[in-house]
Amino acid sequence: MSGLPVKAMILICSAWLYIFLIFTGFGILIRRAFGLKILDTESLLTSFWIGWAFTIFFLQSWHLYFRIDWHVLVLISMIGTAGLIWNVKDILLLARGKLPKQLTFYFLLSVTGLWVANHAVLPPMNGDSGIYHFSSVRWANTFPIVPGLGNLQHRLAYNSSYFLYAALLNTGVGPLANKSHNLTNGLLLLISFAQIFLNSAKLIKDKDKTRLYHVLNLLLLAPILKEVLGYNISSPSPDLPIFILGINLSARLLAFLEDLECTHKEIGYAVFSIATIAVVGIIIKLTFFAFGMTALCLSLVVWIKRGGRQDVVNNKKTFMWILMVVVIALIPWMIRSVILSGYIAYPIPIGSFPVEWRIAHADVVAMVKVIFSWARAPYRHPNEVLGNWGWVKPWTTRITNDRFDVLVPLFLMLVGCFLTFFVDVLKRCNWHANGIALLFFIPPTASLISWFFTAPAIRFAGSAFWILGAGSIAIAISRLNRLKHTTKLFIIFSLSIILCQRFLPVAGKAVFLKTMFEDKSIIKALRQLHIREGWLIQSGENTGFYDIPRAALKTLVTRHGLIVYAPKDADDDHCWDAPLPCTPLFDLNLRLRRKEDLRYGFIVDSKG
């Protein structure tokens, strides 16, 4: 074993700093459109998320006409730089005022950044990355959106806009060229740590301004740490951002429901930020739809009921911005779905368009059955699973074996509910927010209900279980009015540490062992598997980075003369970063819409 990959870690952290500044500058421009300035570090982090989301919105439209290459990276950089320059006075005032007081925060963040970067050097370990994540990114880097790409392989039509963000980071130069899998998810985890550290500092320093979302974020430290030790840290998987966005959206919703003293502009911006995070989650993965739409609708209803009509000018502006977010995000997303598959929200088999590249309706229905069936009972035929409830008992046994992602948060939820009942009913304590924050349980509950009746695999649940558990405890602790602030802090920090120390090592190893067991091709790619049992990763083969696994390929020819790459092993369905076009699902009837030009897409045609 060689030493730590210090050079790779520094390169990754440098790239993250650059990306953070660019996205934050983009977000600051939008914040200024609401007439708000940069007041503190928390507003900088919020600006990052807004800028990140709007970058993805922009990439959706850009990719309709152009490939994702260095040109769009330069353009986004120029927008972000303009936002930073325009607000340089406010940022400097913040640096001279509040930043020096937060040296401990920045020290912890720097150390954590190096640690997250240390894990990000690993090769991609999510099996789906080899099946279609890398292929989706490569298509985005090579061509504008390709009509009928789902005919080559149906997963390429899933239309996750997250791959456009990965493709943007793939345009780096030097040692970071084509290293987006080492950058995408790790940056989002690092920003999540920044929010946890910041909220922890507020809990300690300012007891009079302690909010429920501060407690919520701190109690979610353990699942965030687990994601660093999991198999998505070095893969461009949309599962991890969905997990993080669920936490982010819940914290924003809880802060909005709880804070009654903001100005009209701040309240409008809060509703807008909820809408932005909700919508970007939906276009990243459809499994976020119930969570995102419920949170968005709930925030709008509460806003209007609280007096959203008092400031007509600012309210009109907020409504227009929210409408704009919905339009610039969902309309291009639906157009992209039609171009990729012929359906408005693929893989949902409704809303089809009569385009020549449309995937056969029967194939879409069959695929949806496989998705739903596999989530309920893997390795069984859909006809045996769907249409009856026989899958529930073995599914329940399987899902309750997951201590960290299911049993622990459910236990926390039960404890929190019991404490809340004890305080409210037996002690008759009044809560300062009059119970309105209980509304924040609606989105994760709606998400889990939708999840159960569609595709109830653990990874599709996102962070809903943990949000219910941590949220219940946070609300219960806040209602213990007779406890001193220091006592509450002791309980909160102790519980967070216990969760990390008692359950996290087991969770990290279990996730990795599960990945090893289910995906033999990854085992072949990772020769030093024991590195995942520790908290530090040793240096890889390529300047500290671990190489992307390479698929053994063969060439096949369709009856129309199209040459296609495919995995050589019949039992292997991984293309990884193979040359285009590559698919594990070879179809003899596949042909190009225009001869010898991949840009214009694919059709399945049995004629001739």
Instruction: Please choose, from the candidates 291, 277, 179, the residue with its C-alpha nearest in 3D space to the C-alpha of residue 236.
Output: 179
DSSP secondary structure string for all residues of 356-393: TTPPPHHHHHHHHHHHHHHHHSTTS-HHHHTTSSTTHH
Q: What is d(CA 483, CA 470) in angstroms, rounded to the nearest whole number?
A: 19
Cβ burial 125-161 (10 Å sphere, 16+ → b, else e): bbbbbbbbbbbbbbbbbbbbbbbbbbbbbbbbbbbbb
- Please tell me the predicted confidence (pLDDT) of residue 25: 95
Residue 206, pLDDT > 90, answer no
State how far Cα 452 lies from the chain centre. Answer: 20
585 domain residue, yes or no: yes
Cite the DSSP H helix spans in 401-553.
Answer: 408-421, 442-453, 464-478, 485-498, 504-518, 520-525
Q: What pLDDT digit, counting tens, does each position of 260-319 carry?
A: 556 677 888 999 999 999 999 999 999 999 999 999 999 999 888 876 556 666 778 888
Pair 247, 220: CB distance under 8 Å: yes
Categorize the per-residue pLDDT at 531 as very low, low, confident or very high, splitting at 50, 70 and 90.
very low
605 secondary structure, DSSP code: -
58-67, 125-134, 143-152, 197-206: the lowest-pLDDT one? 197-206
Structure tokens at 70: 């260095």
596 domain residue, yes or no: yes
Cα separations (Å) of 266 from 128, 252, 374? 41, 12, 44
In the predicted model, what is the mean pLDDT of the chain?
Answer: 86
Please give the backbone phi and psi of residue 590, each rounded to the nearest 5 degrees, phi first: -75, 140
Categorize the per-residue pLDDT at 581 as very low, low, confident or very high, splitting at 50, 70 and 90.
very high
125 domain residue, yes or no: no
Pair 517, 542: CB distance under 8 Å: no
28 domain residue, yes or no: no
- Please tell me the predicted confidence (pLDDT) of residue 312: 65
Q: What is the mean pLDDT of residues 565-590?
A: 91
- Please tell me the predicted confidence (pLDDT) of residue 117: 95
- Please tell me the predicted confidence (pLDDT) of residue 533: 46
- Please tell me the predicted confidence (pLDDT) of residue 540: 77
Pair 540, 547: CB distance under 8 Å: yes
Categorize the per-residue pLDDT at 209 as very low, low, confident or very high, splitting at 50, 70 and 90.
low
516 domain residue, yes or no: no
Q: What pLDDT digit, counting tens, does each position of 131-154 carry?
A: 999 999 999 999 999 999 999 999
Q: What is the mean pLDDT of residues 156-169?
A: 96
5-9, 17-21, 91-95, 319-323: the lowest-pLDDT one? 91-95
- Which range of residues forms the domain containing residue 562? 553-604
pTM comes to 0.92
Q: What pLDDT digit, counting tens, does each position of 13-63 carry?
A: 999 999 999 999 999 999 998 888 877 888 899 999 999 999 999 999 999
DSSP secondary structure string for all residues of 204-259: HH-GGG--HHHHHHHHTHHHHHHHHHSSSTTS--THHHHHHHHHHHHHHHHHHHH-
Structure tokens at 33: 């459109």
Residue 434, pLDDT > 70, answer no
- Please tell me the predicted confidence (pLDDT) of residue 72: 97
275-279, 464-468, 502-506: the lowest-pLDDT one? 502-506
Structure tokens at 471: 């949220």
- Please tell me the predicted confidence (pLDDT) of residue 501: 67
143 domain residue, yes or no: no
Q: Whose structure tokens read 């653990």? A: 458
73-87, 122-136, 175-189, 420-434: the lowest-pLDDT one? 420-434
- Please tell me the predicted confidence (pLDDT) of residue 589: 93
Total domain count for the chain? 1
Residue 454, pLDDT > 90, answer yes
572 domain residue, yes or no: yes
DSSP secondary structure string for all residues of 86-133: HTHHHHHHHHHHTGGGGHHHHHHHHHHHHHHHHHHTSPP--HHIIIII
The segment with the largest mean pLDDT, out of 243-252, 397-406, 437-446, 564-573, is: 243-252
Q: What is d(CA 514, CA 144) in angstroms, rounded to the nearest whole number?
A: 36
Half-sphere exposure for 342 (CA within 13 Å, toward CB) = 22
Between residues 416 and 185, the one the model is more confident about: 185
Which residues have a Cβ under 8 Å from the Cβ of 198 and sit 6 or more positions away? 41, 42, 45, 105
- Please tell me the predicted confidence (pLDDT) of residue 432: 46
Q: 566 - beta bridge partners? A: 554
Q: What is d(CA 225, CA 228) in angstroms, rounded to the nearest whole number?
A: 5
Q: What is the mean pLDDT of residues 381-407?
A: 89
Instruction: Please choose, from the candidates 365, 305, 263, 273, the residue with its C-alpha nearest in 3D space to the C-alpha of residue 27.
Output: 273
**In this structure, are strands 563-567 and 553-557 parallel, antiparallel, or unpaired?**
antiparallel
Q: 592 - beta bridge partners? A: 602
166 domain residue, yes or no: no
Residue 477, pLDDT > 70, answer yes
Cα separations (Å) of 145 from 247, 269, 414? 31, 33, 47
